[in-house]
Structure 1
Amino acid sequence: MRTADWIKKKAHEVVYNAGTNNPMKICEENGIYVCHQNLGRAFLGHYTNIKRIPLITLSAQNNEFEDNYACGHELGHHYCHHGNNTEWLSRNNLKFNTIGSEYEANLFMVNIMLEGVDVSEFETKEQLLKACGIPLWAERYVEL
């Protein structure tokens, strides 16, 4: 199975089991701790495990929109089993990746946020992204 297909299937499973496609609520439903720390303005979030307990750290400087997609991205690291050696999601690395753990985390984020959404209801990709809380930099991960 292609990586992209596996991630889409996993995202569907996670949303179905949690009963929501909201990244923060998915964390709540699955015992994934989320905390806010002063990471500075450059960093949006990070994922790690502490003694096998998953932890997502979001920047206290994020707005609600940034928290939502950063949490979805960090959930991607968790569910794609990337371990503790993932990059920090920073404002400087918000770009389209074609391989690696950042590609997988971004693809997972987009797939959970689109789960259950009828894309045919939107006239443009930009309308879809805005309605689903997906940042414009992630548009290339969306397949219509």
Structure 2
Amino acid sequence: MDKTLKKLIRQFKTTDPFIISVGLGINIRYADLGDQTRGIYYRKLRRRFIVIHENLDEYWQRFVCAHELGHDRLHPGVSRFWLDEQSFYNVGKFERQANRFAVRLLTADDPIKADETVEELFKRQGVPIELQQFYY
């Protein structure tokens, strides 16, 4: 995973998941996905799509884009739904990997400082606090 992240950041000179996704040819769409789903990654006719719930704030949209980008990079050929809160406690291997990928991508350009907590880092970086368990 770290090699993949370093390669993407070096190639696109950013940690912005929207810029990276578009650069990789992934179509980003927004839609009302209901109460339980924040994002979807899928492939159709050789095209790749990330669909983000349109009612999320900008921080969650950024995280969901990074998470779904993680599915694209780590789990090629597998379309997965990323479910809401209850899935945080019962996520499968793919979901944990995509969460870890997203957290590492979004914090890669500004690592934690010596006198800083993970929560402070996440606030500074605009990463949802609920996902700090995936930082390590």
TM-score with structure 1 length normalisation?
0.84
* C-alpha distance in structure 2 between counterparts of 1:46 and 1:69, whole Å: 12
Structure 1's unaligned 5+ residue stretches are: 1-6
Coordinate RMSD, CA, aligned: 1.9
Give the length in aligned residue pairs: 136
Corresponding residue of 2:11? 17
Identity %: 26
TM-score by length of 2: 0.88
In structure 1, what is the Cα distance between the partners aligned to 2:21 and 2:108? 16
2:117 aligned residue (121, 124, 129): 124
Match of 2:27 among 20, 25, 33: 33
Structure 1 counterpart of 2:106 = 113
Alpha-carbon distance in structure 1 between the residues aligned to 2:30 and 2:115:
34
> Which segments of 5 or more consecutive residues in structure 2 lack a partner in the other structure?
none
Counterpart secondary structure, 1:117: coil
| Structure 2 partner of 1:59 | 53
For 2:113 and 2:39, the matched residues in 1 are separated by 32
Deviations 1:67-120, CA, capped at 9 Å, x for gaps: 0001110001000024334233323323485x6100110111011111121322
Q: How far did residue 53 of structure 1 move?
A: 1.1
Q: Equivalent residue of 1:116, what SS? A: coil
- Which aligned runs of 4 or more in structure 1 are off by greater than 4 angstroms? none
Could you tell me whether the CA contact under 8 Å between 1:76 and 1:104 is conserved in 2?
yes
Q: Could you give the per-residue CA deviations for residues 3-28 of structure 1, whole angstroms, max 9, x where no partner exists? A: xxxx1221121122111101111112
Counterpart CA distance in 2 for 1:96 and 1:121 is 32
Match of 2:83?
89
1:33–1:56: 8 Å Cα contact kept in structure 2? yes
Measured in 2, the distance between the counterparts of 1:12 and 1:24 equals: 16
| Alpha-carbon spacing, 1:64–1:8, altered in 2? closer, same or farther (3 Å) | same
